Structure 1
Amino acid sequence: MTESRPKTLLAMGPQTAAKLIAGPVRERLVAIADVDPDLVAADFTDPAVAGALAEAEVLYTSWWCPPITAEVLAAAPRLRAIVHAAGSVKHHVTEACWQRGLLVSSAAAANAEPVAEYTLAAILFAGKRVLESARLYRERRGRIDLDGLYAGYGNYRRAVGIIGASRIGRRVIELLRPFELEVLVSDPYLTEDLGVRQVGLDELFERSDVVSVHAPALPETHHLVNAARLAAMRDGATLINTARGALVDEDALIAEVSSGRLHAVIDVTEPDPPLPDSPLYDLPGVLLTPHIAGSLGGELARIADLAVDEVARYAKGLPFAHGVTVEDLATSA
């Protein structure tokens, strides 16, 4: 098998490049590709990158990559592939790229892992009422009646509903297998048996003690979690959203949590971050985190490594292990 060292150009934000293309990742990429690791295309019209863009066969992209438009492609006549060291490719891979027949890969599978881990922790903490218990314990200086407050809670045989059999949704299901929980899944595109019960969306909301959102943000999923479905949730149930803020009717959720009937773990909002006067910051029934479920810190190396693996496969003439097609975009983030 013939192996080449494809001419490769980094295309992402400079700060992203400094975090991703470092240490062993940098060494591996330089070993398998003809690349200048210090040259980063944050703007395809920058004269400093024009020469490398004209010669590039592969774009190694990540967050803050500019859109790869028809004009960019005209300046990159040798471009054959885009390897994205992040999740969704919708922000930079344009229709012109698909028309050109470019090969596209995404590291979404690597980014799914920390999101699933965050979700697992949130599910188990929700069942034990960790957030509320810690707050009350602190406020009451240890004078707390656990039996009176939490009769009927805990994780044994509780029902967990997963919205969306996406990469993340499937990984959450896998991580939940060792626990004695009833796991439900709702996804209109799911045709295979995942070893858990598949139900309609309305039934999932009615039966679950915890509902976790893992569907893509599409026009048809806007406010998928609406007032009626929130109202159908059991008293004391928890909603977890690590997908996109647009999937949840935030006003309806705030109303339910303000009443004390529901709890929420929210890592994404609309807008993101919430406005300074948003009630989400202060509601005691909300655990609000700053979009940290996805890869950060040392977890970025997992994404970068997967993308380098894909460049290596391309160099060997092998198909991408994590390829993306234009058809995938209709049902993916």
Structure 2
Amino acid sequence: MATAPSSEATDVWLPIPPAQIDGLPDAFTYHFWDGEEEFPADPARCGFYVVPYMKGPVVAVRPLADMPRLRVVQTLTAGIDHVAPAVPRLPAGTLLCNARGVHDASTAELALTLTLAALRQVPTFVRAQDAEEWRPGLYEALADKSVLIVGYGAIGSAVEERLVPFEVADVLRVARTTRDAARGPVHAFTRLPELLPRADVVILCTPLTEETQGLAGAGFLSRMKDGALLVNVARGGVVDTKSLLPELESGRLRAALDVTDPEPLPPGHPLWSAPGTLITPHVGGPSSAFLPRAKRLLRDQLNRWAAGEPLEHTVAVAG
């Protein structure tokens, strides 16, 4: 069961104005805080804290030290790497919940967009349009390609659902544990060395953890087939940038990256000019699909908390 809110900690901090979220329970006092310098109320009364979205780890954890009665930390991201280091310092029993399901549609859509744009060389056409040049030719299709999804959770599954209509030859699935999914077997990370050489496109969807930090390093990349495309809609740290750059500069691999390490990518960084590389500025989640799904998540979670029911998507408990 979820720990019921105490009478001394009934404040809820939201990064979305509460008047914009229909169906919130009346049991709480709501405060809008989206990372501004001034806190909206006394943090000591906060029992349910929703982390500001896309404001970085410093903002995310800033009020936590002043929240001794905190019971729930809710992110609006699927990944929790920006707040996970603070969990050991939270009051014992505090739940950390992620936003599983909120970003599935948007991130999967971008994964498909990046894959198609890179294969069909859309950036080349954009540059040609700027130069008023007509560049016909024979370009690659997604059809008949083998795709490896690394991190087959909710987002990875949503990616596959969008790949199927494009007549891909095969979809390979990898996650932390082996299981049978609706569309086929999910293999463990230990199978990557044998699966990577089979894939024309490798799509990274995995959370950033100690296990996945630098997962796509020299060994991983060397096992990818010549000409393969690496698509990263996970976290920049899942890819070892120093190992990726030589593969791109040689032309052996291509990449479509929504996230990078470092991030944001600074001017002059060699990734900007690496051959065969398409970069978007971490826009997998923030789209028009985000806000309605985030509001539904917060409404549902807060109604569960008010009723003393188990919260969804609990990924850690402070101890």
TM over 0.5: yes
| Structure 1 position 187 matched with structure 2 position 190 | no
Q: Percent identity?
A: 29
CA drift at 1:137: 6.7
Please say if residues 9 and 39 of structure 1, whose CA atoms lie closer than 8 Å, have aligned partners that are also in contact.
Answer: no
Query: Residue 61 of structure 2 aligns with which residue?
Result: 66
The superposition leaves residues 261-310 of structure 1 with CA deviations (integer Å, 9 ceiling, x where unpaired) of 32211111111012322122223411111111122456234223312221
Corresponding residue to 2:101 among 102, 109, 112: 109
Corresponding residue to 1:8 among 6, 11, 23: 11
Which 5+ residue runs of structure 2 have no aligned equivalent?
Answer: 54-58
Residues 263-302 of structure 1 mapped to structure 2, 5 A cutoff? 263-296=254-287, 299-302=290-293
CA drift at 1:193: 3.1
Please say if residues 110 and 306 of structure 1, whose CA atoms lie closer than 8 Å, have aligned partners that are also in contact.
Answer: yes
Query: Residue 149 of structure 2 aligns with which residue?
Result: 162
CA drift at 1:229: 3.0
CA drift at 1:239: 0.7
* 3-state SS of paired residue (2:302): helix
Match for 1:249: what amino acid? D
Within 2, Cα distance between the matches of 1:177 and 1:9? 41
Instruction: Calculate the TM-score normalised by the size of structure 2.
Output: 0.80
Change (3 A) 1:234 1:120: same
* 3-state SS of paired residue (1:82): strand
* 3-state SS of paired residue (1:168): helix
CA drift at 1:236: 2.5
Change (3 A) 1:156 1:96: same
**Aligned residue pairs, count:** 302
The superposition leaves residues 228-259 of structure 1 with CA deviations (integer Å, 9 ceiling, x where unpaired) of 33233233321111112222121232222222
Corresponding residue to 1:259 among 250, 261, 264: 250
Query: Residue 14 of structure 1 aligns with which residue?
Result: none
Match for 1:253: what amino acid? L
- Root mean square deviation, CA, Å: 3.2
Residues 234-245 of structure 1 mapped to structure 2, 5 A cutoff? 234-245=225-236
Residues 181-260 of structure 1 mapped to structure 2, 5 A cutoff? 181=168, 182-198=170-186, 200-260=191-251
CA drift at 1:316: 2.5
* 3-state SS of paired residue (1:177): helix
The superposition leaves residues 160-195 of structure 1 with CA deviations (integer Å, 9 ceiling, x where unpaired) of 111112332222123223332111112242323342
Corresponding residue to 1:313 among 304, 307, 317: 304
Query: Residue 95 of structure 1 aligns with which residue?
Result: 88
Change (3 A) 1:243 1:28: same
Within 1, Cα distance between the matches of 2:228 and 2:132? 24
Query: Residue 41 of structure 2 aligns with which residue?
Result: 49
Please say if residues 304 and 311 of structure 2, whose CA atoms lie closer than 8 Å, have aligned partners that are also in contact.
Answer: yes
Query: Residue 56 of structure 2 aligns with which residue?
Result: none
Change (3 A) 1:299 1:319: same
Query: Residue 20 of structure 2 aligns with which residue?
Result: 24
CA drift at 1:112: 3.2
Query: Residue 126 of structure 1 aligns with which residue?
Result: 118
Within 2, Cα distance between the matches of 1:298 and 1:174? 17
Within 2, Cα distance between the matches of 1:252 and 1:136? 30
Change (3 A) 1:86 1:163: closer
Which 5+ residue runs of structure 1 have no aligned equivalent?
Answer: 12-16, 328-333
Please say if residues 87 and 107 of structure 1, whose CA atoms lie closer than 8 Å, have aligned partners that are also in contact.
Answer: yes
Instruction: Calculate the TM-score normalised by the size of structure 1.
Output: 0.77
Within 2, Cα distance between the matches of 1:306 and 1:113? 14
Change (3 A) 1:193 1:258: same
The superposition leaves residues 184-216 of structure 1 with CA deviations (integer Å, 9 ceiling, x where unpaired) of 112242323342354521233211111111222
